[in-house]
């Protein structure tokens, strides 16, 4: 039986060896039936990382490492987390960091978690202008778009992207936003979906 608190603490401590050892144990037991509990523990560990960053104990390099560790964790658990696929069509969505923002740590973590949840994620990368996002959505018949940004100016790019979809008559596309400057107020300003 795995100790999920130990897993959360190991993730928070950025103890790669312990995290991977515990996750391999989860996957070996019962065909990975406890993978979701392990993923929840990893997310709890990421909360610890965030708290340590806010308090000044961790730095940007630690956040990058934590993001890579979380991506590795999702990769280990992915087969057990993806359920109900049955060879059917996965829901496709776009994920990207908006124009004028080059940050991708959080975006990459979210992509891993979405893929583990069974989504087919078209990751357009960083610094993506609204026109490219609209074009990719049209070409791939995508109805869900997730926009990421860390800088405050990302809000303007997110708003421009929402407006570009509306101007193109694509009101049926759901646009969600995330990142450091995102709040309920930012959601209202940009016109993103709740």
Q: Average model confidence (pLDDT) for the chain?
A: 90
pLDDT at 162 over 50: yes
Question: pTM, whole model, 2 decimals?
Answer: 0.74
| pLDDT tens figures, 123-152 | 999 999 999 999 999 999 999 999 999 999
**pLDDT for 89:** 63
d(Cα 11, Cα 48) in Å, to the nearest integer?
8
Work out the average pLDDT over 4-25: 96
- Determine how many CB atoms are found less than 10 A away from the CB of residue 172: 7
**The CA-based dihedral angle spanning residues 36, 42, 47, 52, taken in that order and rounded to the nearest 10 degrees:** 170
CB contact at 8 A, 147 and 192: yes
Quickly state the pLDDT bin for 1 (edges 50, 70, 90): confident
Q: Are strands 92-98 and 144-148 parallel, antiparallel or unpaired?
A: parallel
Burial class of residue 28 (count of CB atoms within 10 Å of its CB; 0-12, 13-18, 19+): exposed
| pLDDT tens figures, 55-66 | 999 998 898 899
| pLDDT tens figures, 166-188 | 999 999 999 999 998 899 999 99
Residues with Cβ within 8 Å of residue 88, at least 6 apart in sequence: none
d(Cα 76, Cα 92) in Å, to the nearest integer?
22
Burial class of residue 154 (count of CB atoms within 10 Å of its CB; 0-12, 13-18, 19+): buried
Sign of CA dihedral 99, 100, 102, 104: negative
**pLDDT for 82:** 67
**pLDDT for 84:** 43
pLDDT at 117 over 80: no
**pLDDT for 31:** 74
Q: Which residue has the tokens 């608190």?
A: 5
Angle between helices 35-54 and 4-12 (to 10 degrees): 40
DSSP H helical ranges for the chain: 4-12, 16-28, 35-54, 60-81, 105-116, 130-139, 154-167, 184-190
pLDDT at 86 over 60: no
Distance between alpha carbon 100 and the CA centroid of its chain, in Å?
Answer: 19
| pLDDT tens figures, 87-114 | 456 799 999 999 999 988 889 888 877 8
Work out the average pLDDT over 39-46: 91
Q: What percent of the chain has pLDDT over 90?
A: 64
Burial class of residue 1 (count of CB atoms within 10 Å of its CB; 0-12, 13-18, 19+): exposed
pLDDT at 71 over 90: no
């Amino acid at each position: 039986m795995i100790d999920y608190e130990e897993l959360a603490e190991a993730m928070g401590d950025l103890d790669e060896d312990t995290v991977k050892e515990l996750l391999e144990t989860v996957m070996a037991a019962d065909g990975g039936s406890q993978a979701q509990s392990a993923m929840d523990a990893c997310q709890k560990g990421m909360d610890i990382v965030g708290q340590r960053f806010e308090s000044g104990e961790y730095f940007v390099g630690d956040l990058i490492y934590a993001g890579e560790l979380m991506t590795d964790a999702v990769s280990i658990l992915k087969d057990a987390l993806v359920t109900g696929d049955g060879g059917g069509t996965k829901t496709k969505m776009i994920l990207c960091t908006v124009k004028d923002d080059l940050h991708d740590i959080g975006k990459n973590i979210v992509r891993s978690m979405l893929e583990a949840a069974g989504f087919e994620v078209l990751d357009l990368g960083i610094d993506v202008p609204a026109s490219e996002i609209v074009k990719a959505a049209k070409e791939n018949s995508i109805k869900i778009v997730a926009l990421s940004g860390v800088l405050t100016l990302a809000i303007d790019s997110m708003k421009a992207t929402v407006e570009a979809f509306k101007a193109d008559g694509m009101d049926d596309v759901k646009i969600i936003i995330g990142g450091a400057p995102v709040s309920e107020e930012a959601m209202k300003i940009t016109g993103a979906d709740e």
